[in-house]
């Protein structure tokens, strides 16, 4: 692979928010470019006037920045081969349409949607795969003019050459072969003058100097059409790699419950960009090392050869694993902001770092941090059902001893525990559980020594005292 010239792109259609599937496509293209010191370009494929919306463009730019998937060419940053929104490239496309028309490789088609549907139905019922019957391919110049004079708005169709085999080596799936006779002449410009996907996508890749295209395997069948178009236009074709789709744990398509979530939803839930990157970079791609990788390491270890052909299964537990790892690594200032507005209502600024150190291993989301802030700092303690049971079982004598031990040793945890052991004759979970339940109202949670250290002595005493009454 020549390195300086490698150029990949992400070409989303702004018809909705980014989801895990298209974010993964963006990520793989960005990683491939970084791996080889190449460039990553962003192009907005907004040819569908009805469904494309400016707010989706704004959202996807913001989402990509949030993930750290910055592009070197495209909207905001510009570049020599813009504009980077297809809606602004009509004049460029016009030139290429004309080339195809002049050489007879494209022709206007006047068939109505109803006629096309009828022909499709007839072919299907005759057991043949439906493709354009070629009606308008055979119109004479006079017939064409007559139709245009009647004010009909034609589409423009590409004339697919007959009897050809289109071959290409997919960078993920290996050698692919398609018979051109299986491909009907296809529309490259809609009746309203807007370009069809096949055309704008292929022309732009060529004009923007894209060398590698990684995209979903749902586009595989489009590739022979695009290769034929590029050949007709004498434009260079990129290398294509079609990524296996992401499927749900049950083998079906991703459902809302199982990861078919927009990046915005994941972000609102508190997922961290680094967690998503570590997860997605391994969804259909393998690394030699299974441990946490920083963005630069994700790029350094990325290889086309490591992309899998089998569908990639979404695994919520894996994503949670990387989320925990991300929380474990985040610097305190960022973590504090990420925790949101509830935590500072409970945790004073001078306790911030101790609070973070105490709860960090036990939180994955801001809601977890808010939970522990409330548990550890609220004046009133709510006991979970389990902790109430533990406290009752320990009995009031246990807490009288605990109060005495605390009066003597304070938060010096090992000494406190030793003393309590001696006073009660208890050890292990029989000793730690009631203590934990009394102080936090929970039977699991942050390290007890840290909790004790974090809590004001008055509060520790009050909570231990309260258990004498409960039990
Ligand atoms: N706009 C197309 C999509 O979002 C791009 C396909 C491609 O990457 O070539 O599916």
Determine if ligand 1 sits within 6 Å of the CB of residue 185.
no
Q: Confirm whether 141 is domain-assigned.
A: yes
Determine if ligand 1 sits within 6 Å of the CB of residue 11.
yes
Determine the Cα–Cα distance for residues 192 and 155; give it in Å rounded to an integer.
8
Q: Confirm whether 6 is domain-assigned.
A: no
pLDDT band at 255 (very low <50, low <70, confident <90, very high): confident
pLDDT band at 4 (very low <50, low <70, confident <90, very high): low
Task: Say if residue 92 is exposed, middle or buried (CB neighbours under 10 Å; 0-12, 13-18, 19+).
Answer: middle
The helix (H) or strand (E) run that includes residue 237 is none
Give the distance (Å) from ligand 1 centre to CA of residue 79: 20
141 φ, ψ (degrees, to nearest 5): -60, -40
Beta carbons within 8 Å of 243's beta carbon, 6+ residues apart? 24, 25, 28, 172, 214, 215, 216, 217, 284, 307
Please report the pLDDT score of residue 259 as a whole number. Answer: 66
Among 212, 243, 274, give the residue marking a domain's end. Answer: 243
Please report the pLDDT score of residue 260 as a whole number. Answer: 77
Q: Confirm whether 338 is domain-assigned.
A: no
71, 95, 145, 155, 286 from 185: Cα distances, Å? 35, 20, 21, 12, 39
Instruction: Give the mean model confidence (pLDDT) for residues 436-463.
Output: 97
pLDDT tens digits, one per residue of 52-95: 999 999 999 999 999 999 999 999 999 999 999 999 999 999 99
pLDDT band at 367 (very low <50, low <70, confident <90, very high): very high
Chain-centre distance of CA 305, in angstroms? 22
Q: Confirm whether 275 is domain-assigned.
A: no
Determine if ligand 1 sits within 6 Å of the CB of residue 200.
no
Please report the pLDDT score of residue 152 as a whole number. Answer: 94
CATH of the domain at 393: 1.10.10.350
pLDDT tens digits, one per residue of 260-302: 789 999 999 999 999 999 999 999 999 998 999 999 999 999 9
Give the distance (Å) from ligand 1 centre to CA of residue 155: 22
Residue 187 token pair: 């529309």
Chain-centre distance of CA 406, in angstroms? 50
Beta carbons within 8 Å of 451's beta carbon, 6+ residues apart? 358, 376, 436, 439, 440, 445
Instruction: Give the mean model confidence (pLDDT) for residues 102-121.
Output: 96
DSSP SS3 for 262: strand
DSSP SS3 for 138: helix
Nearest partner of 173 among 282, 284, 307, judged by Cα: 307
Query: To which residue do tokens 């960090």 refer?
Result: 360
Whole-number mean pLDDT of the chain?
Answer: 95
CATH of the domain at 156: 3.40.50.620
Determine if ligand 1 sits within 6 Å of the CB of residue 201.
yes
Q: What percentage of the chain carries pLDDT values higher than 70?
A: 98
164 φ, ψ (degrees, to nearest 5): -105, 155
Determine if ligand 1 sits within 6 Å of the CB of residue 12.
yes
Give the distance (Å) from ligand 1 centre to CA of residue 13: 7
The Cα diameter of the chain in Å comes to 108
Determine if ligand 1 sits within 6 Å of the CB of residue 13.
yes
pLDDT band at 252 (very low <50, low <70, confident <90, very high): confident
Spell out a b/e string for 241-270, using b for 16 or more CB atoms within 10 Å of the CB, else e.
bbbbebbbeeeeebeeebbbbbbeebbeeb
Determine the Cα–Cα distance for residues 367 and 217; give it in Å rounded to an integer.
37
Pocket test for ligand 1, best of 9, 10, 12 (most atoms within 8 A of CB): 12
Q: Confirm whether 423 is domain-assigned.
A: yes
54, 399, 410 from 460: Cα distances, Å? 55, 11, 9
Domain range for 143: 89-243
pLDDT above 60 (res 3): no
Q: Confirm whether 321 is domain-assigned.
A: no
pLDDT tens digits, one per residue of 313-344: 999 999 999 999 999 999 999 999 999 999 99
For residue 222, the ligand 1 atom closest to its alpha carbon is 9
Nearest partner of 193 among 93, 327, 84, judged by Cα: 93
Q: Confirm whether 278 is domain-assigned.
A: no
Q: What percentage of the chain carries pLDDT values higher than 90?
A: 94
Q: Confirm whether 15 is domain-assigned.
A: no
Give the distance (Å) from ligand 1 centre to CA of residue 34: 21
Give the distance (Å) from ligand 1 centre to CA of residue 348: 49
Among 222, 243, 264, give the residue marking a domain's end. Answer: 243
Q: Whose CA is nearest to atom 8 of ligand 1?
A: 215
Nearest partner of 153 among 108, 203, 91, 114, judged by Cα: 108
Give the distance (Å) from ligand 1 centre to CA of residue 306: 22
Among 187, 220, 243, give the residue marking a domain's end. Answer: 243
Please report the pLDDT score of residue 469 as a whole number. Answer: 87
**Total structural domains within the chain:** 2
Determine the Cα–Cα distance for residues 322 and 272; give it in Å rounded to an integer.
9
Residue 455 token pair: 């809590």
């Amino acid at each position: 692979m020549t390195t300086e010239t490698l150029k990949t792109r992400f070409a989303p259609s702004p018809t909705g928010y980014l989801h895990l599937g298209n974010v993964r496509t963006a990520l793989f293209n960005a990683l491939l470019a970084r791996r080889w010191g190449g460039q990553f370009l962003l192009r907005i494929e907004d040819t569908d006037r009805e469904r494309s919306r400016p707010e989706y463009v704004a959202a996807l730019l913001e989402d990509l920045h949030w993930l750290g998937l910055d592009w070197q060419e495209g909207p905001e940053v510009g570049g020599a081969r813009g504009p980077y929104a297809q809606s602004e490239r009509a004049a460029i496309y016009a030139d290429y349409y004309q080339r195809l028309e002049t050489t007879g490789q494209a022709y206007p088609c006047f068939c109505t949607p109803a006629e096309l549907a009828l022909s499709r139905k007839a072919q299907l019922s005759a057991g043949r795969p439906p493709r354009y019957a070629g009606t308008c391919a055979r119109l004479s110049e006079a017939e064409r003019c007559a139709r245009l004079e009647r004010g009909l708005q034609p589409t423009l169709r590409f004339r697919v050459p007959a009897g050809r085999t289109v071959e290409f080596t997919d960078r993920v799936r290996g050698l692919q072969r398609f018979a051109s006779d299986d491909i009907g002449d296809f529309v490259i410009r809609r009746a309203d003058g807007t370009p069809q996907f096949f055309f704008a996508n292929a022309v732009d890749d060529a004009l923007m100097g894209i060398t590698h295209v990684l995209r979903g395997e749902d586009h595989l069948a489009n590739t022979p059409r695009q290769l034929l178009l590029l050949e007709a236009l004498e434009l260079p074709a990129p290398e294509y790699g079609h990524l296996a789709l992401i499927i749900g744990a049950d083998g079906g398509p991703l459902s809302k419950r199982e990861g078919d979530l927009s990046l915005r939803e994941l972000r609102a839930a508190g997922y961290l960009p680094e967690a998503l990157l570590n997860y997605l970079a391994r969804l259909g791609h393998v690394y030699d090392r299974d441990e946490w990788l920083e963005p630069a390491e994700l790029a350094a270890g990325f290889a086309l050869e490591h992309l899998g052909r089998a569908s990639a299964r979404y695994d919520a537990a894996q994503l949670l694993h990387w989320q925990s790892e991300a929380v474990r690594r985040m610097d305190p200032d960022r973590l504090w902001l990420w925790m949101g507005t509830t935590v500072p209502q409970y945790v004073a600024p001078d306790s911030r770092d101790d609070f973070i150190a105490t709860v960090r291993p036990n939180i994955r989301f801001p809601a977890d941090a808010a939970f522990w802030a409330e548990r550890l700092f609220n004046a009133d303690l709510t006991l979970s059902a389990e902790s109430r049971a533990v406290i009752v079982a320990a009995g009031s004598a246990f807490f009288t001893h605990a109060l005495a031990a605390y009066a003597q040793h304070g938060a010096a945890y090992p000494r406190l525990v030793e003393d309590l052991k001696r006073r009660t004759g208890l050890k292990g979970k029989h000793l730690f559980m009631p203590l934990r339940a009394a102080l936090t109202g929970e039977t699991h949670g942050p390290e007890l020594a840290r909790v004790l250290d974090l809590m004001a002595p008055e509060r520790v005493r009050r909570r231990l005292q309260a258990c004498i009454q409960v039990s």
